[in-house]
């Protein structure tokens, strides 16, 4: 029945700075891809602000609750408040205007929109306005303390739960109409206050009642991420209790990470509630070639055949987009198939469709990528942990799930196809991406040489490996990325500034954008989680860290004093923070010849 698309996190990692022109392209792509169910989450804070004001909160209490734009996904799920905020009045107006157009376009193309609903989290101001309300603070989220996390959760039995939930949904549907499907996530990466099944049923029942209070036809769409994220808490009894607080068939669960950690298998198909088999694939919008093609080629069909299966659709739920297009095209196509595809012949046709012409070298390159980087098996979690995009240390992860030589060979093959395909924009994008992956592998090799040289006190070798990495390889990677518009830091920052209506807003939005891809929090709370390989970021952030690391190791060998990671972390934090506040303008227009830069890198570095 459904082909679902979008992850709540992508609202922040990818869509946050989009204007209508960019949204329109995305929605058109969704229609062309057969997507028929998707969230429409823009503008909800404007409606929430109206509701909070009606309930007697003042503006400063509301400002202490909303995060900045780049972190709203986690504000909506009760993980964070206030960080990088507040939201300026103009933000609300622009988002409302976008939302009108988004829902209109999605519906006109036959899609069912999913609107947000009340999940039980409230600003602290509610406790002042209603002193007798029964609300408890949840624990802290990730590496944030209670300054920015530990959100208040209303007790499901408190009468205010229904008042707030129904009031919000009535306001929202009055504004945007409705297709009767609503999203709410109460315990996303948050441990509930009690594991008593009766309590968990009360919570889900209260959320559902607050939906039906405003819309008797309501269906609740819930992410199933929590069940596999905290399996120690979510035992079968707890899962069943939460799911059965809602009448069977009135909830749809997204089995969010089904390609690696399916939940339907150990919950008897979500104990009878319908579910959508989703491919998560990407975390944080990281760059890095990756896929689990065998798992997605077989997984949805196995889920359909599962005893008493309640599967009602397939879905794409990456945390960030604009990476690894092939995997998403494959997953979209599988939604229409009755059985698994012959992948090598599919990918050969894919290369032809993508570049607009058949080319033997390009097809061979894709078959190599298919069997290597795109074929991670077992439990694969695609966080880019390459030393390139992580804070340097002597204990970095250089493990690969594939043969590095396959990527180097695909790079060679793509370059050889350049004469024929060089005028195709998709070809140039892929050439950047595959060259970038090859360089990422080379960075690991140089890192291992640096570590080896340091551990065996070989100063000349340390200087050589460190010098090549910092003064040649990373600057060359930066110039490669800077040659393509989709790999520019400047584009991300300019889109952020373009949302602003004043210099002050522009500055706030730019700091939001810079912080998200680097420190992710005031003190590196979720450091490099949303790492990107962008022209400008490689040179002024990753490369500067590596430079400091190499010089600290050299100093350690020269002085005979041991290297201390803690001291280095303190020093490198100043570098990381310095990047966020460097006020440097990064170009949003590409420069240089992609083919030429890739070829130059190839001649110098192809192993």
251-260 per-position pLDDT tens digit: 999 999 999 9
Selection from 175, 276, 295, 192 nearest residue 234 by Cα: 192
Q: Which DSSP letter does residue 562 get?
A: P
Find all residues with CB under 8 Å of 280, minimum gap 6, and list them.
7, 256, 257, 258, 259, 260, 317, 318, 319
Torsion of CA 354, 358, 364, 366, to 10 degrees: 10
Torsional class of 397: left (φ above 0), alpha (ψ -120 to 50), beta (otherwise):
beta
Residue 380 has what pLDDT? 86
| Residue 81 scores a pLDDT above 90 | yes
Pairing relationship of beta strands 251-255 and 219-223 according to DSSP bridges: parallel
**Average pLDDT rounded to a whole number, residues 106-111:** 98
> Are 599 and 492 contacting, i.e. CB atoms less than 8 angstroms apart?
no
| Residue 379 scores a pLDDT above 90 | no
What is the value of pTM for the model shown?
0.97
| Residue 88 scores a pLDDT above 90 | yes
Distance CA 490, CA 536 (A): 7
pLDDT tens track for 234-246: 999 999 999 999 9
**Within 89-158, where are the H helices?**
89-108, 125-129
Distance CA 577, CA 523 (A): 8
**Average pLDDT rounded to a whole number, residues 82-107:** 98
Distance CA 335, CA 315 (A): 8
Selection from 249, 163, 251 nearest residue 214 by Cα: 163
Q: For all residues of the chain together, what is the average pLDDT? A: 98
| Residue 367 scores a pLDDT above 90 | yes
Q: How distant, in Å, are the alpha carbons of 290, 353, 574 from that of 361?
A: 21, 15, 46
Distance CA 362, CA 352 (A): 8
Distance CA 322, CA 307 (A): 36
Residue environment code for 477-511, b if the CB has 16+ CB neighbours within 10 A, otherwise e = bbbbbbbbeebbbbbbbbbbbebbeeeebbebbbb
Q: Is residue 375 classed as helix, strand or coil in its secondary structure?
A: strand
**Average pLDDT rounded to a whole number, residues 17-31:** 98
Tell me the CB-side half-sphere exposure of residue 160, using CA atoms within 13 A.
18
Residue environment code for 338-359, b if the CB has 16+ CB neighbours within 10 A, otherwise e = eebeebeebbbebbeebbeeeb
pLDDT tens track for 272-317: 999 999 999 999 999 999 999 999 999 999 999 999 999 999 999 9
* Length in residues, the chain: 607
| Residue 497 scores a pLDDT above 90 | yes
Q: Given pLDDT bands bounded at 50, 70 and 90, which one contains residue 378?
A: confident
Distance CA 169, CA 182 (A): 9
pLDDT tens track for 380-422: 887 899 999 999 999 999 999 999 999 999 999 999 999 999 9
With 0-12 CB in 10 A as exposed, 13-18 as middle and 19+ as buried, what is 134? middle
Could you give the domains of the chain?
2-335 (3.20.20.80), 368-605 (1.20.120.670)
| Residue 8 scores a pLDDT above 90 | yes
pLDDT tens track for 419-477: 999 999 999 999 999 999 999 999 999 999 999 999 999 999 999 999 999 999 999 99
């Amino acid at each position: 029945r459904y082909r679902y698309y979008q992850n709540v996190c992508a609202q922040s990692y990818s869509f946050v700075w989009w204007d209508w022109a960019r949204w329109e392209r995305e929605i058109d792509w969704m229609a062309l891809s057969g997507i028929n169910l998707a969230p429409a989450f823009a503008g909800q804070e404007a409606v929430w602000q109206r509701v909070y004001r009606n309930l007697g909160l003042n503006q400063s209490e509301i400002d202490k609750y909303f995060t900045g734009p780049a972190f709203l996904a986690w504000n909506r799920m009760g993980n964070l408040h206030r960080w990088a905020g507040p939201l300026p009045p103009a933000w609300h107006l622009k988002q409302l205007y976008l939302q009108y157009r988004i829902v209109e376009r999605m519906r006109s193309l036959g899609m069912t929109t999913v609107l947000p609903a009340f999940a039980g989290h409230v600003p602290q101001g509610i406790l002042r306005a209603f002193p007798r309300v029964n609300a408890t603070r949840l624990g802290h989220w990730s590496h944030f303390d209670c300054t920015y996390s530990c959100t208040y959760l209303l007790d499901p039995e408190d009468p205010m739960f229904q008042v707030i939930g129904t009031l919000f949904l009535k306001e929202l549907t009055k504004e945007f109409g409705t297709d009767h499907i609503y999203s709410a996530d109460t315990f996303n990466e948050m441990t509930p206050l009690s594991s008593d099944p009766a309590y968990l049923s009360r919570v889900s029942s209260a959320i559902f009642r607050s939906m039906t209070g405003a819309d008797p036809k309501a269906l609740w769409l819930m992410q199933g991420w929590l069940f596999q994220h905290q399996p120690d808490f979510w035992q079968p009894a707890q899962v069943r209790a939460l799911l059965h607080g809602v009448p069977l068939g009135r909830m749809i669960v997204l089995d969010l990470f089904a390609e690696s950690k399916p939940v339907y298998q150990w919950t008897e198909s979500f104990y009878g509630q319908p579910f959508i088999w989703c491919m998560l694939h990407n975390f944080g919008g990281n760059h890095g070639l990756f896929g689990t093609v065998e798992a997605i080629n077989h997984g949805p069909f196995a889920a359909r055949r599962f005893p008493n299966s309640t599967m009602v659709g397939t879905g794409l739920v990456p945390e960030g987009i604009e990476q690894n297009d092939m995997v998403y095209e494959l997953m979209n196509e599988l939604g229409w198939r009755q059985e698994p595809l012959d992948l090598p012949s599919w990918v050969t046709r894919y290369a032809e469709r993508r570049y607009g012409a058949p080319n033997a070298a390009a097809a061979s390159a894709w078959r190599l990528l298919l069997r290597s980087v795109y074929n991670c098996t077992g439990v694969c979690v695609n966080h880019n942990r390459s030393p390139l995009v992580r804070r340097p240390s002597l204990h970095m992860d250089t493990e690969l799930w594939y043969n590095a030589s396959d990527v180097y060979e695909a790079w060679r093959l793509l370059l050889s196809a350049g004469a024929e395909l060089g005028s195709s924009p998709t070809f140039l994008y892929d050439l950047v991406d595959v060259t970038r992956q090859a360089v990422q592998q080379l960075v690991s090799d140089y890192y291992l040489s640096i570590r080896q040289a340091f551990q065996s006190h070989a100063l000349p070798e340390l200087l050589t490996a460190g010098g090549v990495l910092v003064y040649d390889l990373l600057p060359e990677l930066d110039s490669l990325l800077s040659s393509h518009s989709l790999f520019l830091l400047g584009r991300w920052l300019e889109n952020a500034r373009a949302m602003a209506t004043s210099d002050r807003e522009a500055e706030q939005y730019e700091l939001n954008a810079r912080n998200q891809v680097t420190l992710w929090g005031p003190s590196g709370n979720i450091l490099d989680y949303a790492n990107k390989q962008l022209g400008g970021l490689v040179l002024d952030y990753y490369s500067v860290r590596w430079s400091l690391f190499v010089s600290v190791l050299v100093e350690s060998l020269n002085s005979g004093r041991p290297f201390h990671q803690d001291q280095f972390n303190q020093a490198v934090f100043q570098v990381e923070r310095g990047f966020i506040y460097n006020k440097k303008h990064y170009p949003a227009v590409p420069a240089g010849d992609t083919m030429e830069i890739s070829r130059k890198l190839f001649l110098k570095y192809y192993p």
